[in-house]
Structure 1
Amino acid sequence: MINIAANLTKINEEIEIASNKANRSSATVSLLAVSKTKPSQLVQQGYDAGQRQFGENYVQEAVDKIHELAHLTDICWHFIGPIQSNKTRLIAENVSWVHSVDRIKIAKRLNEQRDNNITPLNVCLQVNISGEQSKSGALINEVAELADYINNCENLTLRGLMAIPENSKDEAVTRKRFKQMQTLFNQLQHQYPSVDTLSMGMSGDLAIAIECGSTMIRVGTAIFGSRS
């Protein structure tokens, strides 16, 4: 039987070791537990072990879990999957963060569909840093216009960037992509005071991501086990 509390402890220890090696405080790096395809009972176990931030990839599955776990008033839900136009309302109405905004059309819909009476939706722009045609995300030369648009949306708060580089066993390639993201992130920070989040790195490359300035690591399987 999977021990989620022990797995969370192990990942947090890895984050601390990597942060120390990068001369950073581990307090500057958050862990996002990616709970896609896992039942709400396992999210509850993670919550009971002290985890508060959870990421979901599929809209309806996320909404179901959010409703099932509505009694956990300080849990924080992040949507990190590709966004279809017909699903923006559910995202705008149910989560606190979205990491995968990659075009103005989606930002416009989220802004219009977010209730004015709740806190603005925290937004990270997804960047297709490796330029893969099969992958979602804005290209590097599209980031500035998208960031400017979101910064002017009343119901959105621009928080930073997210990326999933190409799957490479070459650490030099991974480091290059993460460094490119760090440069983009630093540029945004100089322009927008609200920008404080660089969402990149998973269990296999978290040390390189932290070395390159990541402030949020996304981990799923190493916490919850293989997808069922």
Structure 2
Amino acid sequence: MSTIAENIAKVGVRIREAAQASGRDCASIGLLAVSKTKPATAIRAAFEAGLRDFGENYLQEALDKQLELRELPLVWHFIGPIQSNKTRSIAEHFHWVHSVDRLKVAQRLNEQRPAHLPALNICLQVNVSGEASKAGCTPDALAELAAAIGNLPRLHLRGLMAIPEPTDDPLVQRATFERVRELQQGLGLNLDTLSMGMSQDLEAAIAAGATWVRIGSALFGARDYTSSP
């Protein structure tokens, strides 16, 4: 069985090769380790192998891990759906939030972000494939939401996040990711982040301009949801 360190090295090779194929600087692409359902020991192993950024979907699970790993200089990203009654804890305990999709949530995060912390890095989640089962604002609503968030002083709008409909067709993958990039460019704002691409499609995402690829199973193995919320 591959170790987490070995898996990180393999994913690093994929990222470097995809960057080279696209004529991009590998340093412009961040590896966000999706650690949901994985124990703190796995995060510690990934940290020891060089990773610093970790993405969590479930708030209470994330808070428990943060407490257990509080001595480590980790950067925490919230990447799951956001319930209004969870915004205070998210605003207080995370460096990034990738899954903002409505103004009410953004306003609450802004109001509840502690004054002693820097502005919270925000990505707007866009439902680029139009799936009814997926969170995210519609492409048509994106400009209005981005403009409103730009007026919230405790938030720093960085870019867009997307979870496209799964497909094994690399051409479809790339076309969908390029649509996300076009939506971002169409906003006409100074945004630097595209959070898109996972274990099965990171190459297509990098070709389309991803700056964060969110990788879980390729680093930690298959997820066990039996003990998760």
CA distance in 1 between partners of 2:222 and 2:166 (Å): 18
In the alignment, structure 1 segments of 5+ residues that lack a partner are: none
Verify the 8 A CA contact 1:200 1:217 in the aligned structure 2.
yes
Structure 2 residue aligned with 1:207: 203
**Pairs aligned (count):** 224
> Residue 2 of structure 1: CA displacement?
4.6
Structure 2 residue aligned with 1:40: 40
> Residue 226 of structure 1: CA displacement?
1.2
CA distance in 1 between partners of 2:127 and 2:96 (Å): 19
Structure 2 residue aligned with 1:92: 91
In the alignment, is residue 165 of structure 1 matched against residue 170 of structure 2? no
Verify the 8 A CA contact 1:2 1:225 in the aligned structure 2.
no
Please tell me the residue identity of whatever aligns with 2:203: A
> Residue 134 of structure 1: CA displacement?
1.0
Structure 2 residue aligned with 1:120: 119
Structure 1 residue aligned with 2:79: 80
SS in 2 for 1:217: strand
CA RMSD of aligned residues (A): 1.0
Verify the 8 A CA contact 1:127 1:139 in the aligned structure 2.
yes
Map Cα deviations across residues 175-220 of structure 1 (whole Å, 9 max, x no partner): 22111101112233x32x3x21100001211111111011110000
CA distance in 1 between partners of 2:63 and 2:151 (Å): 27
Identity of aligned residues (%): 54
> Residue 68 of structure 1: CA displacement?
1.1
Dislocated runs of 4+, deviation >3 Å: none
Please tell me the residue identity of whatever aligns with 2:118: T
**How does 1:109-148 map onto structure 2 within 5 Å?**
109-148=108-147
SS in 1 for 2:194: strand
Verify the 8 A CA contact 1:29 1:215 in the aligned structure 2.
yes
**How does 1:188-199 map onto structure 2 within 5 Å?**
188=187, 190-191=188-189, 193=190, 195-199=191-195
SS in 2 for 1:124: strand
> Residue 25 of structure 1: CA displacement?
0.9
TM-score of the superposition, structure 1-length normalised? 0.95
CA distance in 2 between partners of 1:78 and 1:125 (Å): 13
> Residue 174 of structure 1: CA displacement?
1.6
> Residue 67 of structure 1: CA displacement?
1.3
TM-score of the superposition, structure 2-length normalised? 0.95
Verify the 8 A CA contact 1:102 1:136 in the aligned structure 2.
yes
CA distance in 1 between partners of 2:4 and 2:67 (Å): 22
Structure 2 residue aligned with 1:103: 102
